[in-house]
Structure 1
Amino acid sequence: MVSKELTIKKLSDHSYIHISKLVLENGAQYDCNGFIYVNNKEAYIFDTPANDNATTDLIQWLQKNKKTTIKGVIFNHFHADCNEGMDVFKKEGIPTIASKKTAELMALHKYPEPNLLFKEQLTLTLGNKTIINTFMGEAHTVDNIVSYFPDEELIFGGCMIKSIDAKKGNLADANIKEWSATVSKIKNAYPKIKTVIPGHGEHGNTKLLDYTISLFKAEK
């Protein structure tokens, strides 16, 4: 626990999950997962925390407590639980990164354009480590990407990946007919995965991929 707004869960010397609460207009609250990847006192963040206070806490934790430079924040998809803290990053001069499709959908919801856009894949480096961000297909949204960290054998899948026993969740912008096939592509593309981080709930291993595939298979 970093503050009442933000929890940070350490997975390894390089990998952390950040957890914050999104409050809906009807008063409902739920925990949202994001990811932090650190190497040589530099970091990339995957999805902003779900509110501005938690976002400020995360930036301060990295910059002041960990003495780490934030190279950018990457958005998994266009929903608020991925980019609600975007304005805080922009005020701090931290680069914001998204696919072109995500940027287009963010614009429709009155979010500013991210600083760096990519079409279907963007490879980033963090010292001697590589991060591969890829659009594999439609699922939770038409723009959702997956971020793969080969040195950790880890993926951050955001809301397209479900924690074990989770329900289907928000389907307002989903392609439920393609969801299972998209997650199957991820599993086949990265056969050595050991750690899978969903957008909500507990992380785990490839059982999360199998569970998500089975959850939406009946929608074919």
Structure 2
Amino acid sequence: MAVGAALGLLTRQVLATLPKPVQIALTVVAAYASYLLADRIGASGLLAVIALSLILGSAYQPTTHHQVHRFWRQLGFAMSSVVFLLVGLQVHLDQVVRVAGRLLLLVAVVMLARALMVTLVTLARSDLWPWSWRAALVWAGLRGALSLALALALPADLAGHDEILALTFGFVFLSLVVQGLSTGPVFRLLGISRQTAVATVH
């Protein structure tokens, strides 16, 4: 993360002197550079990129920030598709079936951990966080390309590599299919809508 933070601070200083199109291009260069540099020295490239993005996130004017956000959102969608494709080529259905028991246990543990975290974070302001909102936060915690990218970044000769990849793929698949497709009905069951959210906030 130190690599990404250092490169983020350096990039932030340079951004102010550049036109908007070059600023967007520089964020791409900085992201790749932080990943490759961190990976070269044996650190986590993904964590370096996350640190970089946290620092650069507030470095833009509102209009430029919107353009950068739109660019990275579109690029992120494309890259997420590539990540899912790569995992799909490496993980076979029979591998996921073999770890089904551990996969269900993993899902249960993660859901319990998320419920505990949501409870602790919202405990101080329980008046602003009704139980229905807390339940919605727990259920809506989807996992996606980042988890898969972390699994893909593991060395191929790591003990249990295939099992980790199968568990990650299965977990993300269940998260997107089960939680993703049921989020709307669950929210309606909890009585949460756009109108109730606005009314609660105000």
Q: TM-score range by the shorter chain?
A: under 0.3
Task: Provide TM-score, normalisation by structure 1.
Answer: 0.24
Task: Provide TM-score, normalisation by structure 2.
Answer: 0.25
More helix by share: 2
Say which one has the larger Rg: 2
Larger RCO (alpha carbons 8 Å, 6+ apart): 2
